[in-house]
Chains A and B, each alone.
Chain A
C-alpha cells in the first residue's frame, strides 16, 4: 500500500552524501512507504534536504521499521546523555 502520509519538520544542520561535499540542510521529511532501493516492501524513509538548492540537495535514508526504531532510540539516548539544547 501507499501510505501517502508524510511528516515534515524544519531542521538546522548539515549533511553529506558520498558523491558530494557537505551542505546546509533546512528541511526533513519522514514517511513510511515504498523504498526506492531497500529490499523491503515498506521502509521508514527520511529525507534531509535543502530545497533551495534543488531536488538533488538531499540525503536519503530507507530503514526497516525495526532499524528505524533502533535509530530513533539511539538518537534519543545520545541526546539524553549529553546536555543537548
Chain B
C-alpha cells in the first residue's frame, strides 16, 4: 500500500473568489498544507445538499494528505452567502446546476490550483453523490490527471423523467481523459451494481484506465459521517483507495 504522507498536517484554510464558468466570480473554500511544494491539487465537488461543513471537512482532509485542495461553491450564483441547506433548496427549486456550468466551474478551480506557486501542474477531481457524476463529467471534458467517482448516479443507466440534466454520460465516456477510481455501495440503487458493471464494461471497451471497488453492506452515501448511510468499514477502505490513487497519479 502506498502512503503519501506530508511533512506536517498543519494547514491554512480560507475562502477565496475564483473565475468559474464564463469567468463568473464564484466562491470557493481552500485548504492548503504548510510549506512550499511542489505538490498537486484536488478539486472537491460538493454533493447536492450543498457547500456544507461535511464537504469542507473532506477538503481539509486532502490538505492533510498533502494537496492544495479547493471546493467551489456551485450554488454561489443563486444563493450568495446563504446557509448551505437554504442554498441547496434554492438551486433545486430553480432546476439544479447545468452540466455545462459545472464543467466551467471545475475548469476554473483546476486553473486556480495550477496557478499556485506550490503547484506541480497536476490536478485531480473527486465528487460524492451528485458530485460523483459531476466528477466523471468533468473528467470527460477537462485536462485533469485523476478522477474519483464516489457513487455518482446516472453516469450509466436511464435517469427518470424530470431530472435537471440530459440523460446519462454514456456518450461522453469515450472522451474520459484521466484514470478513474470508482467507489460504490453494493446495496445502492443508483448507481446499482448493474449500472457499475455497465460503466466498467464501457470503460474497458474504450481502453480507459479505471479501478472500481464495491462494498458489501454499504449503500449510497457511505462516506457521509453525519448521516445514517455512513458505513465505517467501506469509508475507511475507500479513503485508503483514494489516498493511494491520488498518490499514484498526482504525486511527485
A: residues with CB less than 8 A from B are 1-6, 8, 27, 29, 31, 33-34, 36, 39-41, 47, 49, 51, 54-56, 58, 60
Task: Flag if A39 contacts B228 (CB, 8 Å).
Answer: yes
Contact with A along B186-208 (1 / 0, CB 8 A): 00111100000000000000000
For the complex with contacts A51-B93, A58-B90, 17 further pairs of A-B residues with Cβ separation under 8 Å are: A3-B160, A4-B96, A4-B154, A4-B163, A5-B160, A6-B96, A6-B162, A8-B93, A33-B48, A36-B88, A41-B219, A47-B93, A49-B89, A49-B90, A54-B79, A56-B82, A60-B89
User: Closest CB of chain B to A67's CB: distance in Å?
Assistant: 16
Q: Is the interface of A mostly helix, strand, loop or mixed?
A: loop
Q: Is the interface of B mostly helix, strand, loop or mixed?
A: loop
Per the 8 Å Cβ criterion, residues 43-90 of B in contact with A are 47-49, 78-79, 82-83, 85-90
B: residues with CB less than 8 A from A are 47-49, 78-79, 82-83, 85-90, 92-93, 95-96, 129-130, 153-154, 159-160, 162-165, 188-191, 219-221, 227-229
The residues of B that contact A1 with a CB separation of less than 8 Å are 153, 188-191, 220
CA distance A3 to B161 in the complex (A): 10
Task: Flag if B49 contacts A36 (CB, 8 Å).
Answer: yes
CA distance A56 to B78 in the complex (A): 12
Task: Flag if A2 contacts B93 (CB, 8 Å).
Answer: no
CA distance A41 to B228 in the complex (A): 6
